[in-house]
Amino acid sequence: MRIAKGIRTTLSKGVIIPSLVFILSICLLSAIFPKDTENVLNTIKRFIFENLNYVYVWSVTIFVLFLIYLMFSKYGNIRLGRNNSKPEYSFFSWISMLFAAGMGIGLMYFSVAEPMQHYSNEVFEGNTAVQRAKDAQLYTFFHWGIHAWAIYGVVGLSLSYFAYRYRLPLSLRSCFYPLLKDKIKGRWGNAIDVFALCSTFFGITTTLGFGVVQINSGLETLNVVPESNFTTQIAIVAVLVLLSIVSAVSGVDKGVRILSNINIVSVVILLLFVLLLGPTVYLIGSFTDGIGNYINNFFSLTFNTHVYEENMQPWFHDWTILYWAWWISWSPYVGLFIAKISKGRTIREFIAAVLIIPTLFNFIWMAVFGNSAIWFDSNVADGALSLLADNPDALMFGFLEYLPWTEITSFLTISIIIIFFVTSADSGMFVMNSIATKNARVSPKWQTIGWGILLATLALILLNAGGLDALQSMTLITALPFSIIMLLFIVSLVKALSIDKNYYERDFSASTIPWSGESWKERLSQIVSYNDKKATNEYISTTVKEALFELQQEFVKNGIDAKINSYRNPQKVELEIQYDVVNNFIYGVKNESKIVSDYLLNEQSLKEMDDNRTFFPKSYFGDDREGYDVQLFTKNELISDVLKHYERFLEIVSEEQNEMFVSSNNNRKLR
């Protein structure tokens, strides 16, 4: 696609045009008529939160239970990619990147603010100070724990599975393949991607807008800037978006990964500082108590709609339901990014890491900062931090004033917020460009730069006009339809996993022929001996090749297009039967080696073996199933073995439900 003479682009017209029209329309309305737009959107949001909150409660509950089931199910060992896929990133880099993208600025913004707001909220005023502190920690854990990451996990797992297992584009439309089949390539697929792109853009714009305000507040606290004003915010946005663009253009392997690793180290340093120089014993004890409280109340929290507590309803809508809507609205962006970096992981590994590790870190972080603030407020500050609860932009820096080296820790906090800002923005640019291009492998750099400029421009316009709250309401409204879409992801994933497991575990039919028992003496001699590379190559070039050639001649006589392919280094030969609609049938044998244990080397017959290594002819197939040693097969038995697999192949391709695995259109790219 070209948008002008000499300018190349990978943008999809069916996705980018309706997305930009909708994004610009909402942003302009929010900027020109901020109050009116906010009132209208708030009315819609309030109606949803008050009358349809059960949709969010049930959806998030299903997400949690589904992922826990998958983690312990027979599907847990399925790999997100081919059976022999390996992870592209180290475990530390993987966790750092998904953590930075998933929570980011929010950890810095709410780590003190949310516990303090719960602690000082009039809803809990009837309770004792101790109970209010416990409730503050419990609900903070609830909002930032397993439920939040389950939302991200469902989208990330669905995308990873269909992109790397089915070899479909890394796009939300691909998650509907078992339900919509080839319709995902048309208008239905475009509509899904448009929705994801708009939701991602709105979420990143509002979050970055609020992040700029907090950075500005911190710089003002350190006297780096004289006051918070729009001119200062322009300068902050210009610098940070420029850094984000540089990071995004350098790619996930460099910019995003390096910044995420730096940030996780910085976050741990700040965490240890507060833990060791704050009320350490109190923090460790309250964290321990909080974990137990969370586990004990897990299911009651999960299903509680506070329908019998009328005074709790406004709080429930403004906190729990808002959080569920916020995480759901962010899930296309975070899910796409997590999927991008998770190729090669098993489903069990993916779910365990995504649910448990970030959740545990969030708990530690929130416990240390939130409980420190509550302790200082009660024992040192004489309620001063409670008075700042409604000003979260300044609350973190106000909290740091009660610790040593305030200027240093405030500077470190601003640095962490800046890096979170950059990692959120650069990964956001990457994800939006991926959606808008239908996951094009290579895109011109100007597109990534363009997303950065658009983010910065609209965020500043909305900041100046006071339209960020309206855009935030729009973001939360989009969460309702997307929660339904995510439930359909689960339906699609269940169907696909069932077919996947059946496909790879399908055994031979009852008509397959076992060894006849002939030539058993020769077999015994082969069993107790080990071959060198030359002997195995000779077996492949004679017995195997003769068997496949004889079989190929018979296939041709029967009107079947079959051919023999031979290769060297390693020595291998294969029979290939070509098809137009489905993948080609392949049965091959190659020279493989394995290490023999020292125990067996002590046997008399193996003393002359070199390098502890033996060679053997191993079968392989065109669909990544594991092959096996065929060195004991005679020529006729090899022919029989090929026919077993061919009979299985014909049986499978004749079933419509398996077309996603055998369709040449889906898999041809990897041939």
For residue 11, the tally of other CB atoms under 10 A from its CB is: 21
Closest Cα to residue 195, out of 399, 481, 438?
Answer: 481
Whether residues 422 and 526 fall in one domain: no
Please state the separation of Cα 48 from the chain's center in Å.
28
Whether residues 126 and 274 fall in one domain: yes
Residue 339 within any structural domain of the chain: yes
Residue 381 within any structural domain of the chain: yes
| C-alpha to C-alpha distance for 268 and 5, rounded to whole angstroms | 50
Give the residue from 439, 467, 502 where a domain finishes.
502
| C-alpha to C-alpha distance for 483 and 477, rounded to whole angstroms | 11
Residue pLDDT, tens place only, 83-105 = 888 888 888 778 777 766 556 66
The helix (run of H) or strand (run of E) holding residue 420 is helix 406-436
Whether residues 531 and 479 fall in one domain: no
Closest Cα to residue 231, out of 518, 460, 438?
Answer: 460
Residue 148 within any structural domain of the chain: yes
pLDDT of residue 279: 93
Residue 508 within any structural domain of the chain: no
Burial degree of 150 (CB within 10 A; 0-12, 13-18, 19+) = buried
Whether residues 658 and 550 fall in one domain: yes
**pTM for the predicted model, two decimal places:** 0.77
pLDDT of residue 598: 56
Radius of gyration, CA atoms only, the chain? 30
Closest Cα to residue 395, out of 363, 419, 373?
Answer: 373
Whether residues 356 and 450 fall in one domain: yes
The helix (run of H) or strand (run of E) holding residue 140 is helix 129-144
460: CB partners within 8 A, 6+ apart: 230, 233, 234, 237
Residue 314 within any structural domain of the chain: no
Task: For the chain, give percent helix, strand, coil, nearest 5.
Answer: 70, 5, 20
Contact 158, 338 (CB under 8 A): no
DSSP state of 405: S
Residue pLDDT, tens place only, 628-649 = 888 878 888 889 889 988 988 8
Whether residues 634 and 553 fall in one domain: yes
The number of domains in the chain is 2
Residue pLDDT, tens place only, 5-48 = 556 778 888 888 998 998 888 888 888 888 888 889 889 999 99
Whether residues 454 and 559 fall in one domain: no
Whether residues 397 and 264 fall in one domain: yes
Residue 344 within any structural domain of the chain: yes
Residue 515 within any structural domain of the chain: no
CA distances from 595 to 75, 592, 630 (A): 30, 11, 18
pLDDT of residue 506: 66
Give the residue from 470, 502, 534 where a domain finishes.
502
pLDDT of residue 162: 92
Give the residue from 451, 467, 502 where a domain finishes.
502
Low-confidence ranges of the chain (pLDDT < 50): 2, 4, 509-513, 599, 604, 606-607, 667-671
Residue 201 within any structural domain of the chain: yes
Whether residues 434 and 290 fall in one domain: yes
Contact 647, 509 (CB under 8 A): yes
| C-alpha to C-alpha distance for 343 and 79, rounded to whole angstroms | 8
Whether residues 492 and 528 fall in one domain: no
| C-alpha to C-alpha distance for 307 and 299, rounded to whole angstroms | 16
Domain that holds residue 525: 520-670
Whether residues 585 and 488 fall in one domain: no
Whether residues 285 and 347 fall in one domain: yes
pLDDT of residue 596: 65
| C-alpha to C-alpha distance for 644 and 513, rounded to whole angstroms | 8
| C-alpha to C-alpha distance for 142 and 298, rounded to whole angstroms | 8
| C-alpha to C-alpha distance for 214 and 395, rounded to whole angstroms | 10
DSSP per position, 20-88: HHHHHHHHHHHHHSHHHHHHHHHHHHHHHHHHSHHHHHHHHHHHHHHHHHHHHSTTTT-BSSSTT---S
68: domain CATH number is 1.20.1740
